[in-house]
Structure 1
């Protein structure tokens, strides 16, 4: 009697026991793509590993999930049933993980990465305004430029769109980039002439190693020939702008980096500013939701931009 009960119990557990989650993940990818090699690329495995995982799953279930014809595979009826179920199940798990991570991120301090010179010369001087408007929001500012990953502890990033954005990143335009030559006001006649309509050959141009083509991009946007004057190079925009403030030469100044100095009279822009075709953006893992911290920040950035 006892042995019969154990037999029924063992039969029940055998029928309800779930296969390996890894095997199901391999099968779902192979079923969706109908190709073991492409599934291997997606999961960063070898085609042999995908094939073995699927074969073990078939042995576990006691049915063929794929019909193999040479190098091609096609789902059987059982395979289609399982593919539908695994796709829905993994989709639910993915959504739950995303929501849990989002909730956890909102429960802690958000990290906003911003290009260093933009952070120092534009964002930080205005940050108290954001804190006054949103006193309960906790956002940590860090300096960083160029490509990055949201797996590096960054929740949001402000970047110029001068590098390929990874697929899946959400992008919101903040403002177009505008550039123009800037110098000390008292040096303007010396380097731009009395009429201040063009750069004179005597002007010493200041450029930055982080954007070495900035002068050429400005000239192209203004439909002017590329400047051929002597140039002195600095490591970052911050240094070249400070050199212009010190009267050492003429820097190519992005508007948002020099606007405070222009408005205070520390710098002059004799030829004005022109859009160079690039833009600054707020990047996030997903689109900001209405009422979220991310949306509050986005709306404020677009206002002050």
Structure 2
């Protein structure tokens, strides 16, 4: 054999792509005619592909009951695997195709909380001002372990080592302070003191999976920083509710379910709209935690990327 290469038996034994595509369409629609219509082929072509696939596997994939089809046990097993595999192939090829033919498609990567709480209320302005730009926003809690093939044009992150080959523009230090709804504050006037806060319903941030997102500031850190001499017996303290999902904690606070630590850049619009208030003026400025705009060096001169960069910097300013 040329070059001494051994045959790839796994690839050689795989059924044809057309057969698998026909099978998935027939399994989804439970009918050869409808499957043929969705693939723009004849019913005879679908029937032939399914028959060849069943002969190859040595088993029936469908039970034919009148005009409808039912999957056999073997058909169900194959459909579960084939549908996901074909979907993954489609998504990968579409991503490659768009990258080759659409130079104005920009990918922005940030944390789920920043996307939902900071970016979402502002995006309309950028989209309306830049109708020629297709913006793709992906979120992750793991900036150092992203899926292969994903190369965002811009990150918003505290990680300066998110990717080699990126430029770093410092944005701001994070600022943290307690917030709640006006109604919750009115019902709990004791929130103006650390002791009163400690005995209120506290919504706490769990550190699980958040090491690449932000400095970990929970209520124990807050009280230790603001009132190191504060001692409240455990029996007098209401139990914390905790979650590593910051969006959940903010939504619970907006629903009047407790007091939460707010990151200024994430909840500022809620303060401006009066949906949340600060019961005290005390705050923590995280001098060791700096958020960056991280830009792919190869895309830095692209006009569309430049517009997004300038817009983001203006929004943070």
Larger radius of gyration: 1
Within the alignment, does 1:298 sit opposite 2:302 as a pair?
no
- SS at structure 1 position matched to 2:122: helix
Shift of 1:290: 5.0
Pairwise CA distance, 1:282: 2.1
Aligned to 2:243: 234
Root mean square deviation of aligned Cα: 3.2
Equivalent residues of 2:174, 2:291 under 8 A apart:
yes
Deviations 1:95-139 (A, max 9, x none): xxxxxxxx9597152211221121112102111111233222222
Q: Which residue of 2 aligns with 1:264?
A: 273
Aligned residue number for residue 139 of structure 1: 135
Q: After the TM superposition, which of the residue ranges 269-278 and 180-189 deviates more from structure 2?
A: 269-278
Match of 2:205 among 187, 191, 208: 208
Q: TM-score, normalised by structure 1?
A: 0.56
In the alignment, the residues of structure 2 paired with residue 260 and residue 174 of structure 1 have an alpha-carbon distance, to the nearest angstrom, of 18
Does the 8 A contact of 1:156 with 1:282 survive in 2? Answer: no
Query: Cα offset for 1:152?
Result: 3.0
Q: Structure 1 residues 205 and 224, CA, compared in 2 at 3 Å: closer, same or farther?
A: same
Q: Which residue does the alignment assign to 1:283?
A: 294
Please state how far the C-alpha of 1:262 moved relative to its aligned partner. 1.4
Matched, 1:114 2:110: yes
For 2:195 and 2:138, how far apart are their aligned partners in 1?
37
Distance in 1 between the 2:201 and 2:187 partners? 11
Work out the CA distance in 2 between the residues paired with 1:207 and 1:170: 34
Aligned to 2:175: 178
Whether contact under 8 Å (2:110, 2:157) holds in the other structure is no
CA contact (8 A) 2:179 2:276 kept: yes
Q: Is the 8 A contact 1:111 1:156 kept in 2?
A: yes
Distance in 1 between the 2:227 and 2:290 partners?
A: 21
Residue of structure 2 in register with 1:124 after alignment:
120
Query: CA separation in 2, counterparts of 1:226 and 1:236?
Result: 30
Distance 2:130 2:120 in 1: 15
User: Deviation digits for residues 13-48 of structure 1, max 9, x if unmatched?
Assistant: xxxxxxxxxxxxxxxxxxxxxxxxxxxxxxxxxxxx
1:166 positional shift:
4.5
Change (3 A) 1:145 1:207: same
1:208 Cα deviation from its structure 2 partner: 2.4
Question: Compared with structure 1, are the counterparts of its residues 105 and 174 closer, same or farther at alpha carbon in structure 2 (3 Å cutoff)?
Answer: farther
Give the alignment's TM-score, normalised by structure 2. Answer: 0.54
Number of equivalent positions: 201
**Larger relative contact order (C-alpha < 8 A, sep ≥ 6)?**
2
Instruction: Indicate how the Cα distance of structure 1 residues 224 and 298 shifts in structure 2: closer, same or farther if over 3 A, else same.
Output: farther
- Structure 2 spans left out of the alignment, 5+ residues: 1-98, 211-215
Structure-2 change in CA distance of 1:162 and 1:283 (3 Å): closer
